[in-house]
Chain A
């Protein structure tokens, strides 16, 4: 296993690079960021930038988000390296009572994600940034946060939280509650939709108050 891990994360250069965000802010990035962001790593591999004074433009990401991502990567820089080690020493009894997995989230992450909100759109931005930069850990933290917000709410509440409109009438699902009345019927519906499923065109729902 060790060889593979090394292969994957072999890329390490002592130098730092510069990246510029959408709004023109320039950040220094170091190994911790490059190793966790696959996009950047591939970019560096392909572009082979020798001159590290020229900032790499990241046109999709706002400065604040890029900054947050860099902070996140700095904190998590040792994660990938430490995983193979600590597994070997695992003592079986302890694990049985405290299941711990690589996708577990630390306290730090919880505090980290609290700075983002839905109504300002920053949570959305950080997820998009994580997706673009391909930072798996950050994406997972963001997704779990959203999942936790969606969970335990009914569809109306979710719609209002994320400001999603009802679907236009006549498209089939404009009366959402009817399809939920019983779980049995819900299941039926699932099957029929699955059988029928033939990539029917999505009526792209628009924002409620545009």
Chain B
């Protein structure tokens, strides 16, 4: 319909549909759609640039220029009107101004001349019912959540421009039936093998959550019994799915496994694969041809552990691990692989092992998927063995898991730039937040980002240290620029940091900002009328005899039963450190919530913090287990600690850099040169920290010292006052020290406590 409108080029009809009062309209528009307009503008600028640079569409160029031009005028106008407009955007629009003026198209002049109120061409191109529809959406915001899936779904110029150009295919199908995609092939015509190859590069979790829901055909490809079978079983096993658990248990019980022979049984499983009688549907795919096995064996010979492994395998008297094929005789590469996993001293050996397998792809013609799945098979075997038999060391499954995850990440990360280059043509929001587009998210983060919240739904994200919790939230907000988010953090430092990095659709609140809200709310409320006197004094903001504590006004805030209605979703960062009062506040909000936290990192237990992660109910729980902060060695030790003391069953993995746990610094040993790197010292108490800081200041001649959260929040004045109080009153008088702190001024001496 829209396309029809525009194709007819009948400006008079569209103009008739508009409200007449230009001033009112403009004000109304900017208030309600300001953000959408801006977004649309950036979309256009981005699209135009991409198109002119890459696609070299001469016709579309002129058209998009017009729209960008119109929009630019809008922004310029609105800029004058609204002083709060971010400076950055204005600057950007100027640079684009230059671009546009270079492409002087006669159409621009014509259009601008045609319309007397040229600042709202964008509105003219809107079909009449559009604003009404939009308005109704806003008014019902509290009842049903807005679900605008794509940024410019309801913004017209982009569509109009694409519908002008016959060659251009509307990627969203937004234009509707008018421009059926003549050029776009039916992607479902791709053969299933190719789809399997494509899908084998995608992490299984995502295949099962998002990809299989795309359509029936894809679902069938993903769920094909032979496709990544063990990767799927392992995922079930990780989530302690009953079927998977019993499957592995049965496998070991059939073989009469016990504490002594468990590793041997795993090796035997390896030999069973290549036996001619193997009919097991789950492993028959790993039954490789002799040629392939031979090639693999040759490859594996390059492994640094190969000689040890052969030594071990040749101890077997029945030569079980050897493969005889006419004249040639060699050790079964699958057994060799298992043995390397068992004997590997460090993660490098396993990395090398995986690499050798993948190197063999070019000579053996094995599929990527087969290799991945074979390693998942081994991983499942080891994990099962570890679970059932204590003697199996944790490092066997862990090293394999670590390397597999590392590899899955790297395979796709090398292609990130292209993926983004291509998707940028569709997902202009990545243009909008440039910094985000360079972020490489892990698959777990991506799974979270893909999850659209239902109304009033709560999701929990269990995130280990350094796994990018806050980054995930930022990316989540950035993906959904049309929704508004409230970010609740629990201390000042996080909040100030968050203010600088979160996209504009997110408001931040922490104790400090909440206090503004609370104190105004407090005046109106009479709820705490029967509270005791201290409470009353505390409440009174003017009386500074007893100061309000943070928890105090939060309690007040809770009692005022606040409702936060203006946001679509609440982010709660560090949810493990919430007090019951805050949990209650959050629980009473009728909006969707995302809780992020790590129960192993609770640091505010002393002030009554309870782990909101376990208190609040949610349907979906996600995990972030890939830490960017440390390498294998630290991750390994922390896993052991978490498993032993905290009953953690998830594996925490780190990055691919090396690190040391024996006191050496990785920067010192690596390359033997001292790099000016950041160093972190950890302390259990403030006392030790300050002592050490003072020592460092004197020894290293450090002149600048920073305090996280600001100097004021440390209340050094008060500490000084307490020191004065602690001094003998005589001494105090002699040195002319005066206690200024309102809470301390009434005390006579430190010792008597009066």
Contact = CB atoms under 8 A, between A and B. Distances in A.
Interface of A: 1, 4-5, 80, 83-84, 87-88, 90, 92, 95-97, 99-105, 110, 113-114, 117-121, 123-125, 127-128, 131, 136, 139-140, 143-167, 171-173, 176-177, 179-184, 186-188, 190-191, 193-194, 197, 202-205, 207-210
B376 interface: no
A154 B149 CA distance: 11
A208 B171 CA distance: 12
Given A150-B211, A180-B209, A191-B243, A102 B194 contact: no
B412 A147 contact: yes
Contact of A96 (B186, B194, B214, B351): B351
Given A147-B201, A152-B446, A1 B190 contact: no
Nearest to B243: A191
A114 B173 contact: no
Contacts of A90: 302
B235 A147 contact: no
Which range contains the number of B residues in contact with the other chain?
35 or more
A180 B619 CA distance: 11
B113 interface: no
A172 B212 CA distance: 13
22 contacts: A1-B295, A1-B298, A1-B363, A87-B359, A88-B302, A95-B355, A101-B355, A101-B361, A102-B359, A117-B422, A119-B171, A120-B169, A121-B185, A139-B194, A139-B197, A140-B197, A148-B416, A151-B419, A181-B619, A190-B232, A191-B236, A208-B173
A209 B173 contact: yes
Contact of A210 (B170, B180, B199): B180
Nearest to A203: B216
B656 interface: yes
Contacts of B220: 202
Interface stretch (B336-344, B448-456, B510-518, B712-720): B448-456
4 closest Cβ pairs, A-B complex: A148-B419, A176-B213, A147-B201, A152-B446
A172 to B, nearest CB: 8
A120 B214 contact: no
B417 interface: yes
Interface string B168-193: 11111100110011011111101100
A149 B450 CA distance: 13
A3 to B, nearest CB: 11
Contact of B441 (A152, A194, A204): A152
Contacts of B216: 167, 171-173, 202-203, 205
Nearest to A121: B185
A161 B302 contact: no
Contacts of B171: 118-119, 160-161, 163
A5 B354 CA distance: 22
Given A158-B214, A177-B452, A187-B236, A103 B368 contact: yes
A151 B361 contact: no
B352 interface: yes
A118 B208 CA distance: 24
A133 to B, nearest CB: 13
B214 A102 contact: no
A105 B619 contact: no
Given A183-B209, A203-B216, 15 more contacts: A101-B355, A114-B421, A114-B422, A117-B425, A120-B184, A151-B419, A152-B206, A159-B214, A160-B173, A162-B214, A165-B215, A182-B620, A183-B622, A194-B223, A197-B223
